[in-house]
Amino acid sequence: MSDEVPDAVSEPTQGARRLRVIVADDQAAVREPLAAVLGLSEDIEVVAAAADGTEVLAAVAAGPVDVVLMDLRMPVMDGTEATRRLTEEHPEVAVVVLTTFADDDSILSALSAGARGYLTKNAGRQDIARAIRAAAAGQSVLDREVQARLLATVRTGPAAAPATSQPPQQALPGDITPREREVLALIGQGLPNRAIAQQLFISEATVKTHINNLFAKADIRDRADAVRRAIAAGLA
């Protein structure tokens, strides 16, 4: 697990409201024990279990929900598409991916879709609980293996990329302002726009303006690309 989870969200806060969590996995043998074990945490309440992405969306619509613990490979609607739909339709709901897959395509697709955390199923209950708390607080947690894959992608490009692919730039364009650099650093830490606005004491609309300018100047495609660029520039 990442060592970047702040102490403030590493353990439950005395008297805090329980976090409402959905556990999504197509295998009942995984889904049901995981839901039962997470329910033992004093600050986590598993409000639903889902076998595919459509069930996730239905459970979130019935809400309220704080975090979805999402498997990626599920029938009907997979976890990546469900994450994308949640990001668009329910941006207040955080997604933490919990999967056996740690390949470049799975990681980048999930982060591009809006996942706030990415763990492999080697993670223990306490690690998963900490990731849920961090995601609910607007922070990002990546499994160490996932971090290593992202760093390798930044340095060499995706393993499956064609030989003609342009390698990621290490330096940022010279016309990026100090504030845009700050915004990129916070995106690299996994913060959503609202948390960035709070940290920089500016409005969300101003954050969006900085992001639009930053993406245009640095030719950044999406948020996952921004995370890679922040890492490459030494900002995250």
* Of the candidates 20, 71, 80, 19, the residue with the CA atom closest to the CA atom of residue 50: 71
- Distance linking the first and last C-alpha atoms of the chain: 16
Distance CA 44, CA 211 (A): 33
Query: 39, 230, 30, 83: which is closest to 150 by C-alpha?
Result: 230
- Residue 110 parent element (H or E): helix 104-113
- Answer left, alpha or beta for residue 75, where phi above 0 means left and psi between -120 and 50 means alpha: beta
Angle at 171 between CA 169 and CA 147, to 5 degrees: 65
Structure tokens at 185: 């650093």
Three-state DSSP class for residue 166: coil
**Which stretches within 39-167 are classed as H helix?**
53-62, 79-89, 104-113, 125-136, 144-156
pLDDT in tens, the chain (236 residues): 443 333 334 455 555 678 999 999 999 999 999 999 998 888 999 999 999 999 999 999 998 999 999 999 999 999 999 999 999 999 899 999 998 887 778 888 888 888 988 898 888 888 899 899 988 988 777 777 777 776 666 555 554 444 334 344 457 888 899 999 999 988 887 777 888 888 899 998 899 899 999 989 998 877 767 877 887 788 86
Return the SS3 of 226: helix
Encoded tokens for 124: 């223990």
Q: Name the nearest CA neighbour of 146 among 192, 98, 178, 194.
A: 98
